[in-house]
Amino acid sequence: MAILPAPQKINHLEVLAMSGIQSVCDKFVKGLIPVHGSNLKELAFAGCLELTSTSIKTVGEYCQELTSLDLRNLNRLCDPALWHLRGCRLLRKLRLQRNAFRYCPTSPDFC
């Protein structure tokens, strides 16, 4: 993925704003967040239409220091995705406008 190598080389990434970048997908999140998640304070994925609930699970697992998360305009999220953010105990700002949350009882990611 073209946008993945550059952010991985940053030593202490605290703010990541990827809003509106259409190439941001679950693969990008799975590659970057485990590397930098422990340092991230602010994360913006608004309008990254390829992201799914899998990315939210990754954020919840690795971003315990997160204080701000922007998930506006993401239409591939299931209701249970928010459950995974319980690991982000410092989260003070969560933006969720214009999302089409829906119940996904058969998704193995949320069992």
**pLDDT tens per residue, the chain (111 residues)?**
445 555 556 778 999 999 999 999 999 999 999 999 999 999 999 999 999 999 999 999 999 999 999 999 998 888 888 899 999 999 999 999 888 776 565 555 543
According to CATH, the topology of domain 13-110 is: 3.80.10
Q: Please name the helix (run of DSSP H) or strand (run of DSSP E) that holds residue 89, with its range, or none.
A: none
How much is the pLDDT for 100?
Answer: 74
pTM of the model: 0.83
Backbone dihedral angles phi then psi of residue 94, each to the nearest 5 degrees: -130, 115
Helix (H, G, I), strand (E, B) or coil at 22: coil
Query: With 0-12 CB in 10 A as exposed, 13-18 as middle and 19+ as buried, what is 55?
Result: buried
Query: Where are the domains positioned within the chain?
Result: 13-110
- Residues 44 and 50: their CA atoms lie apart, in Å, by 14
How much is the pLDDT for 33?
Answer: 95
**How many C-beta neighbours within 10 Å does residue 51 have?**
25
